Chains A and B, each alone.
Chain A
Amino acid sequence: MPSADPNTMTSDVALVTAIRSGDQGAMTPLYDRYSSIVYSVALRVLQDSGAAEDVLQDIFMQIWRNPAAFDASRGNMAAWLAVIARNRAIDTLRRRRPENDIEDVVVSVEHDLASEADRSRTMDKVRGALQAMPATQRSALEMAYFEGLTHSEIAGKTGEPLGTIKTRIRAGLLALRKVLAT
């Protein structure tokens, strides 16, 4: 994994350590740093600002109650929160109970996302990769990820064979990884 900004990474770890010791004040900088990620993802999925705020509140309260759920050795916080926010928003969308505990979610990103500048550079690449994809592939990926549709539901909606949808989703994700690796 490329080297992260040691100061920022230490800062995340230090904040989580402070939260573990019961320091309420440490929640503020953590929220200021990552609330935009959680809220944006939730809003994109739910298309409802009130519901997105509820997801935001829920996720940060989980961190307050169980800060040990974030293990810095198993992934960086921005990516981890993005995945958790998406999953929780999909659970809300489908009106189902959360399927995974947050500590069970391990995320591995080969890119440095520790600072806002790092994230911005990476996102430019990802958006470029999405634009370069065939429309059908991008659409399948976005329906699966942001609308929470299963591959069967996407196949039903698009009239495409189930196997084609499965292949497109996986190929789309690998294409993102490949572009970022260059």
Chain B
Amino acid sequence: MSVHEQFAEDLALYALGSLDGAQRHALEKHLDGCAPCRRELELLRGDLSLLALTTAGLKPPARARQRLMSAVADEPRLPVAVPAPERQQRSWWTALGWPALRWASTCALVLVGIGLLWQNSTLQQHLASLRAQFTDQGTKLEQANEVVATLLDPDAQKIELVAAGNKPQPRGKAIYQRRNRNLIFFASNLPALPAEKIYELWLFPANGGAPIAAGLFKPDARGSATVVNPPLPEGVEAKNFAVTLEPESGSHESPRGTPVIVGVGE
């Protein structure tokens, strides 16, 4: 028998109950598959028991015995069942009742089995349906992600088509969902920003309230820009959107600058 030396000292600490954390975990894992180390652990516990036994000799007070016996009496236990020997003579119930009962039990088990098979089949169908739905949802989600990724990709080419011969004009498209406060705004052909200026998107509430700042942005070299889900108050119905040219810090409370593009409504 040989104990793995790298665990030898830890085994003694483990037997003492003073090994913690990763060392304890590693040793327990090792013990699962190492009979010599398990045997050494038993021997170490034996060594420790000898140390414990050096204290022996003190008798507990008499009341401790009475206390234990009272507690035992308060917790009567049923004996552990042992198999009864088979009788030589069989009673009428043994001769008739038990076979009938066994037959009935068998029938019941068969019926339960059929029921379980049917239930299993139904569950399998349901599972297949859920899998199909899951696959379909996954495909749709993937397509949606591709669309969003394309729309938001700064490297994607955004080309505005206008009537032949006309110069492209600044344009914007705001897609707003009041229920979830989702707003996606695309702009194109915006003029390059003057120094210390920035564009700001505004939401004009349908109730005539003050315009709400919906994001500062700078267009790229081609005049394109995107604003996605700026922070907005809840449940505001939009009458219109506009983009203004503002000082670089933005106006925030109300538009001060010149409108560059204004919504025309639907």
B12's partner among A44, A60, A127, A170 (CB-CB below 8 A) is A170
Nearest CB in chain B: distance from A13 CB, A:
15
Interface residues of B in 69-83 (CB under 8 A from A): 69, 71-73, 75-80
CB-CB < 8 A to B16: which residues of A? 144-145, 169
Chain A count of residues within 8 A CB distance of the other chain: 69
Query: Judging by beta carbons under 8 Å apart, are B75 and A145 in contact?
Result: no
Contact B76 A22, beta carbon cutoff 8 Å: yes
Contact B48 A40 (CB under 8 A): no
In the complex, which of the residues B43, B53, B67 contacts A177, with contact meaning CB atoms closer than 8 Å? B43
- Which B56-105 residues have a C-beta within 8 angstroms of A? 56-61, 64-65, 67-69, 71-73, 75-80
Task: Name the one of A31, A35, A78 contacting B53, with C-beta atoms under 8 angstroms.
Answer: A78
Q: Could you tell me the distance between the alpha carbons of A24 and B79 in the complex, rounded to whole angstroms?
A: 11
Chain A residues with CB under 8 A of B162: none
The yes or no answer to A137 lying at the interface (CB within 8 A) is no
Give, as a whole number of angstroms, the nearest-CB distance from B197 to chain A.
Answer: 65
Within 8 A of A (CB), among B27-55: 39, 41-55
By beta carbon, the residue of chain A nearest B67 is A57
Q: Contacts A37-B56, A111-B50, A176-B50 known; A170 to B9 CB distance under 8 Å?
A: yes
B8 interface hit (Cβ, 8 Å): yes
Which residues 94-111 in A have Cβ within 8 Å of B in the complex?
Answer: 99-100, 105-111
B76 touches A150 (CB 8 A): no
Quick one: which of B9, B39, B50, B72 has the most chain A CB within 10 A? B50
B53 proximity list for chain A (CB < 8 A) = 37, 41, 78-79, 82, 113, 119, 122-123, 126
Q: 1/0 contact trace for A108-130 toward B, CB 8 Å?
A: 11110100000100110011001
Residues of A within 8 A of B79 (CB): 20-22
B68 surroundings in chain A (CB, below 8 A): 27, 31, 56-57, 60-61
A130 CA / B54 CA spacing, docked (Å): 10
**Cα–Cα distance between A174 and B54 once the two chains are bound (Å):** 16
Q: Mark A22-56, 1 if CB is under 8 A from B, else 0.
A: 10100110011001110111011000010011001
A93 → chain B, closest Cβ, in Å? 11
Assembled-state Cα–Cα distance A102/B54 (Å): 21
Q: How would residues 67 to 87 of chain A score, 1 for a CB under 8 Å from any chain B CB and 0 otherwise?
A: 000000011001110110111
Which residues of the partner chain A approach B46 to less than 8 Å between Cβ atoms?
A: 75, 79, 107-110, 177
Is A14 at the interface (CB under 8 A from chain B)? no
Contact assessment for B48 and A126 in the assembled complex, using a CB-CB cutoff below 8 Å? no
Provide the bound-state CA to CA distance between A75 and B46, in Å.
9
Residue B18 at the A interface, CB < 8 A? yes
Cβ-based interface call for B265 (8 A): no
Q: Indicate if the CB atoms of A170 and B17 lie closer than 8 Å.
A: no
Q: B43 to chain A: which residues have CB within 8 Å?
A: 108, 110, 177
Nearest CB of B to A58, in Å? 10
Q: Which residue from chain B places its CB closest to the CB of A125 in the assembled complex?
A: B50
> What's the minimum C-beta distance from B168 to chain A, rounded to whole angstroms?
75
B193 at the interface (CB under 8 A from A): no
Q: Within the complex, which residue of B49, B54, B75 is in contact with A65, where a contact is CB–CB below 8 Å? A: B75
B50, closest chain A residue (CB): A126
Residues of B within 8 A of A32 (CB): 65
CB interface residues, B 211-246, toward A, < 8 Å: none
Complex Cα spacing A49 to B58, Å: 11
Quick one: given A40-B57, A107-B45, are A22 and B50 in contact (CB under 8 Å)?
no
A interface, CB within 8 angstroms of B? 20-22, 24, 27-28, 31-32, 35-37, 39-41, 43-44, 49, 52-53, 56-57, 60-61, 64-65, 74-75, 78-80, 82-83, 85-87, 90, 99-100, 105-111, 113, 119, 122-123, 126-127, 130, 141, 144-146, 148-151, 166-167, 169-170, 173-174, 176-177, 180
- What are the 3 tightest A-B residue pairs by CB atom distance, in nearest-first order? A79-B49, A108-B42, A82-B52
